[in-house]
Chain A
Amino acid sequence: HHKMIMQILSAALETFPTALLSWTVWKCSACGRAQPEEKKILFYHPNEVEKNEKIRNVGLCEAIVQFTRTFSPTKPAKSLHTQKNRQFFHEPEENFWMVMVVRNPIIEKHKDGKPVYEYQEEELLDKVYSSVLQQCYSMYKLFNGTFLRAMEDGGVKVLKERLEKFFHRYLQTLHLQSCDLLDVFCGISFFPLDKMTYLKIQSFINRMEESLNIVKYTAFLYNDQLIWSGLEQDDMRILYKYLTTSLFPRHMEPELAGRDSPIRAEMPGNLQHYGRFLTGPLNLNDPETKCRFPKIFVNTDDTYEELHLIVYKAMSAAVCFMIDASIPPTLEFCRKLDSIVGPQLTVLASDICEQYNINKRISGAEKEPQFKFIYFNHMNLAEKSTIHMRKTPSVSLASVHPDLMKILGDINSDFSRVDEDEEIIVKAMSDYWVVGKKSDQRELYVILNQKNVNLIEVNEEVKKLCATQFNNIFFLD
């Protein structure tokens, strides 16, 4: 099962990265009564496009989808490749379609002194952008519920409003040019922790849920990594994405700039603590302050629950308390939460920090890992990357050449085609080797940069990595 691919990568030229061309949400008419074309369109970006063109484009998409369905009724078309762009289709709910059109990257070349633009048709990875599309839906659903529910609540009008409100802002935060394998996984980074500290956190959560008895679910994060989720996996996955790519980075910057000093002792008799709300009230002492929290929707396939999302943070520890949307949190409740959770979370956060440093010293993990790797486990969505920098509100950046990232994506596509365990080793440009391993539900991608090594030596290196980093799991060599 070893595959060896020699790939010569072209030297980078002046390029224009991929860009979003359009984004549409529409309702399929074929399955219902025929309706005017424009009524089908629920959301269209960019909105400036002329109405007839909108109708034409959506009609074309629908035609493609319907046409391809004849050949594969169970697996409808996911993407359409053209010279200039690529279209991605997704049917998140029955008869509701989302279509994203992105432009292929362009290389500027000079021919006879004139610039010539060449579209790179094979640059974009279908899996990466299909995943981006799907996650956009999941994110929409997290904050707005399903399309169907919106229709039931107030018909097309309400759905259109919600889509407009959400995507208008959200599409601006997509950074399509830096999407890569991690977007395919949409995994969760778990904070490594010893058993005792973990149990302390458990105990903390249970006691908080008891004291604040309206709390339905709790999630606990440290250093932007998950430690506990009371939500089910799929809901947590998207909430985690929201927290780590949007909410936390937004609050990180003022902290770094030292603008809001977190130490507070304004309430007399209150213990000093570092706790503060990331969602909800800004100033608990202001009686006029608004206690409005984002609403989220979870278990939409099943119990369909609407919740208020309270995110509260002390130092590096963040807790999400989710309470039933029918109980609006009052200022009094927020104060109570602050007074109960704040001091305890502050102590817990410093405990975790201390324990983490001790463990790091014991395991000797302080040394910078020599390997650049991405690990993902489909079973618990655990993700680990030494390739990516810390996520910022703008983007999560890979520290390796995009061409190498593309190889990772290609290997992943290969893996997803078969069920069996596989191993792929690729020799890339300038002494780079890329190794992909799949064992049961786990995938590991390693990038090695060593001069004059052969296949066997690369294999040995990866074995070494597995022995040190993954010795406590069943990961076949």
Chain B
Amino acid sequence: MAAAMGRDPPGPAEDEAPGAAAAGAAAGREGGGEEGEGRARGGAEAGGCYLALCARPVHFEKANPVNCVFFDEANKQVFAVRSGGATGVVVKGLEDRNPISFRMEDKGEVKCIKFSLGNKILAVQRTLKSVDFLNFIPDSPQLEYTQECKTKNANILGFCWTSSTEIVFITDQGIEFYQVLPEKRSLKLLKNQSINVNWYMYCPESSVILLSTTVLGNVLQPFYFKSGTMAKLSKFEIELPAAPKSSKLSLSERDIAMATIYGQLYVLYLRHHSRTSNSTGAEVVLYHLPREGSCKKTHILKLNRTGKFALNVVDNLVVVHHQDTETSVIFDIKLKGEFDGSTTIHQFVLPPRSIQPYQIPVAGPASVTSQAPVPCKLYSSSWIVFQPDIIISASEGYLWSLQVKLEPVVNLLLDKGKLMDFLLQRKECKMVILSVCSQMLSEPERGSLSVIATVFDKLNNEYKKYLEAEQSYTMVVETGLSRSNPLLKRPVRTQAVIDQSDMYTHVLSVFTEKKEAPHKFTIAVLMEYIRSLNQFQIAVQHYLYELVIKTLVQHNLFYMLHQFLQYHVLSDSKPLACLLLSLESIYPPAHQLSLDMLKRLSTANDEIVEVLLSKHQVLAALRFIRGIGGHDSISARKFLDAAKQAEDEMLFYTIFRFFEQRNQRLRGNPSFTPGEHCEEHVTFFKQVFGEHALMKPTTF
């Protein structure tokens, strides 16, 4: 046996491509005519590579006659089974870094081997009729036990774990859903369903099994599994590119993939170019498979080329590898496409690029001769691709997860609006987005204001969505409605939420400090950001206003500032009012602007009085405080101090008299109490106006 490496249903590649081992599995079926595509080599375009293999792959012993290798998509584990397990089984996963090793009795050729979720129970298929089980739970019986399939004369095509103790057998005549009882070393049939099955496919992320039925194989029947229940979803038909000539299986499992994209389950169908149709190349057709309702064809991804393809889904992007050109393209179904009334047609987002060149690390930690790392052959015919993002090189014994690199995208997607749409949907987007923002504000790639506005709007749209979700969550929690809604979760703040503080820290403050742009542009950018925040009804933070004011003041643009304040573009706040007060010495009208603002705040009456007193406008202060009815509680001493400092005797007299009258009204006596500490002022009053000028107590 050349390579006992199989995709979940055993060895799809075995029937094809003599010589090139497992090539079919990697690249799908040969498409129609090879229309000479330029063979763009990866190396030449290394700068623009937006796809990469993960840096820490799983290394396993490559397949050979004594070592069989299996991959389990559910746990993302590679099993290396030596001599049927007798000389050892090594299980390595992308996530769990510590390999699991064990031995098992060699009871014949292993067809399929998988752990249940959480590595609790091992299931091994050695015959077409039964599956063997071995407990890996501490303190449970260690002896193997076996389950034969219930359906008479049926052959088991494979099995899938749907939880740590639930398993589904897929036979050529239907499916059997079992509960494993490890303590009893037995299985209990929960449900079964008879149906003719050509092949099956499992999507562990969504616990959906897809069965190919009918003679042509293009009627797909999905089943959904959840905690002991099995639900039959509505079946659907894949439209084949051309009417099949004979009634033989026409839909291969190699052309079908299942993946969750933006939280929704899709069936992806790689439709090859047919000479009869007028299509320009192969395409990927997406069928949306909802939990309820029928499956619908929703998207078509145009590949514009022919040949061998393989699919991955990474970060909600559909990646299509093309073996002939050794390049890959990506599609984002959230980006705008051409809608024809029922489906949306998408072109690839970025020009085709090779996966980033990869160096295989030299084995052995203590290698004496410092060997140069070996470049890895990309798009090799021995590659096998699994969903969503797994690439395995059977010949070299590596398992990688595929990654999308965002930095190179920036230079490939020149339309900044589209770039933002793209980046905002990616997981690790924050720093890239912020650097795009910085870049578009500075030479040599300065963007136009309308582009900048578009970008700000896109960022704030995302920011607002999060704020709203957060707000409604808080409201539900506060009103106590959360108990009746256990599904309610605090909204997740993704990296796409770029708030004002991010923009301030990483983009705007740096940009204004650099001072390389003309001040007109600087102010236009700040105003554009404020405009965008307002458009999304997001309250603008004070530090942004401060930045605007600082910039305007630096360039002596006071009249501009005045107009902004006049139209309340810079929203009222105490800190802003104080900032304005501090500008009074260089721009006198700032005083009026500040007082107006304090007045509107209606919570800053003390501040207004202080401002007026500091300007010796004692009478105005008194009139103001009387106007709002606060004159009975103010400190007489404070006003008398201010009146005295004003060096206006008549003013002092007026203020003094006012407080005498207040004393009379409140206490029936015009004189000040010792607690008011006005002795000094009484003395001064007597000095200037004479003892007789003091108000006489009126008695009734």
Contact = CB atoms under 8 A, between A and B. Distances in A.
A421 B620 contact: yes
B520 A380 contact: no
B363 to A, nearest CB: 58
Interface string B553-568: 0000001101100111
Nearest to B521: A210
A228 interface: yes
Nearest to B566: A380
A203 B595 contact: no
Contact of A203 (B521, B531, B566, B593): B531
Interface in A223-282: 228-230, 232-233
A196 B592 contact: no
Contacts of A228: 563
A473 B524 CA distance: 28
Given A190-B566, A195-B568, A203 B527 contact: yes
A199 interface: yes
A70 interface: no
The binding surface of chain B is classed by DSSP as: helix
Given A472-B599, A473-B599, A474-B598, A206 B592 contact: no
Contacts of B17: none
A441 interface: yes
Contacts of B593: 379
A377 B596 CA distance: 12
A476 B628 CA distance: 11
A473 B597 CA distance: 7
B88 to A, nearest CB: 69
Contact of A474 (B521, B595, B619): B595
A431 interface: no
A199 B534 contact: yes
A315 B329 CA distance: 50
Contacts of A473: 596, 599
Given A473-B599, A476-B620, A379 B524 contact: no
B528 interface: yes
A202 B571 CA distance: 16
A461 interface: no
A209 B520 contact: yes
Contact of B592 (A193, A209, A440): A440
A56 interface: no
B620 A229 contact: no
A382 B568 CA distance: 15
A382 B565 CA distance: 13
A207 interface: yes
B531 A202 contact: yes
Contacts of A210: 448-449, 521, 524
A421 B619 CA distance: 10
B567 A195 contact: yes
A232 B559 contact: yes
B427 interface: no
Given A198-B569, A210-B449, A477-B623, A229 B528 contact: no
A207 B521 CA distance: 10
Contact of B596 (A209, A230, A472): A472
Contacts of A290: none
Interface in B618-639: 619-620, 623-624, 627
B449 A229 contact: no
Interface in B236-268: none
Interface string B198-242: 000000000000000000000000000000000000000000000
Given A206-B449, A380-B562, A195 B569 contact: yes
A165 B627 CA distance: 56
Nearest to B627: A477
A196 B560 CA distance: 17
A51 interface: no
Nearest to B598: A474
A390 interface: no
A473 B568 CA distance: 12
Contact of A207 (B449, B589, B596): B449
A228 B524 CA distance: 14
- Chain A residues touching B, range: 20 to 34
Contacts of B524: 206, 209-210
A224 to B, nearest CB: 18
B98 interface: no
Interface string A433-470: 00000001100000000000000000000000000000
A441 B615 CA distance: 14
A198 B595 CA distance: 23
A441 B566 contact: no
Given A206-B527, A474-B592, A474-B596, A193 B567 contact: yes
A203 B563 contact: no
Given A196-B535, A203-B528, A379 B627 contact: no
B589 A379 contact: yes
Contact of B531 (A200, A232, A377, A421): A200
Interface string A173-201: 00000000000000000100101101110
Contacts of A202: 527, 531, 569
B630 to A, nearest CB: 14
Interface in B517-537: 520-521, 524, 527-528, 530-531, 534-535
B606 to A, nearest CB: 14
A207 to B, nearest CB: 5
Contacts of B568: 195
A474 B559 CA distance: 20
Contacts of B608: 474
A472 B595 CA distance: 10
B450 A207 contact: yes
A379 B592 contact: yes
B518 to A, nearest CB: 10
Contacts of B453: 203, 207
Interface centre among B531, B566, B567 (most CB of A within 10 A): B567
A380 B598 CA distance: 18
A228 B560 CA distance: 9
B686 interface: no
Contacts of A441: 589, 592
Nearest to B571: A195
B667 interface: no
A439 B592 CA distance: 10
A230 B563 CA distance: 10
B377 interface: no
A229 to B, nearest CB: 7
A210 B448 CA distance: 8
A229 B524 CA distance: 14
B600 interface: yes
Nearest to B600: A472
Contacts of B566: 190, 380, 382
Interface in B452-468: 453
A41 to B, nearest CB: 38
Interface in A361-385: 377, 379-380, 382
Contacts of A203: 449, 453, 527-528, 531
Contacts of B534: 195-196, 199
A346 B593 CA distance: 33
Nearest to B527: A202
Contacts of B619: 421
Contacts of A193: 567
Contact of A476 (B528, B571, B592, B627): B627
A217 B540 CA distance: 27
Interface in B572-614: 589, 592-593, 595-596, 598-600, 608
Interface in B259-300: none
The 4 closest A-B pairs by CB, nearest first: A206-B524, A199-B531, A474-B595, A379-B589
12 contacts: A195-B569, A196-B535, A203-B453, A206-B449, A206-B528, A207-B448, A209-B520, A230-B560, A377-B592, A380-B589, A440-B592, A476-B623
Given A195-B567, A203-B527, A472-B600, 12 more contacts: A190-B566, A196-B534, A199-B531, A203-B531, A230-B560, A421-B619, A440-B595, A441-B589, A441-B592, A472-B596, A474-B596, A476-B627
